[in-house]
Amino acid sequence: GQQVQQSPASLVLQEGENAELQCNFSSTATQLQWFYQSPGGSLVSLLSNPSGTKHTGRLTSTTVTKERRSSLHISSSQTTDSGTYLCAPHTGNYKYVFGAGTRLKVIA
């Protein structure tokens, strides 16, 4: 089945720095979403990006489908960005498989 690896496992930044999160998966994805989970909070879909580059606010995601990888760039990080970022591809069956996530901490 689909295997999803996210790196780094954790990241600490000073406020204002940029973050680059990576997601690699074992099977070609027809759909991929990035999610955010605040500590003790629910999952929120940040963006959907099965291929190419997508922007929303300070977030940019680039997915290279044939290389089975996606990245999430967070520019000018803020303390409120702290939390866990999860990548979830599916292979056309709508069965999203989640990575273990990248735990981001932004310090003021």
Partner 1 sequence: NAGVIQTPRHKVTGKGQEATLWCEPISGHSAVFWYRQTIVQGLEFLTYFRNQAPIDDSGMPKERFSAQMPNQSHSTLKIQSTQPQDSAVYLCASSLVQNNERLFFGHGTKLSVL
Instruction: List residues near partner 1 by CB under 8 A.
Output: 31, 33, 35, 41-45, 48, 50, 86, 88, 93-101
How many Cα atoms sit within 13 Å of 50 on the Cβ side?
10
53 vs 76, beta carbon nearer partner 1: 53
| CB 10 to partner 1: min, Å | 14
Contact 101, 6 (CB under 8 A): yes
Contact 82, 14 (CB under 8 A): no
24 vs 31, beta carbon nearer partner 1: 31
| CB 44 to partner 1: min, Å | 7
What is the C-alpha to C-alpha distance for residues 95 and 78, in angstroms, rounded to an integer? 32
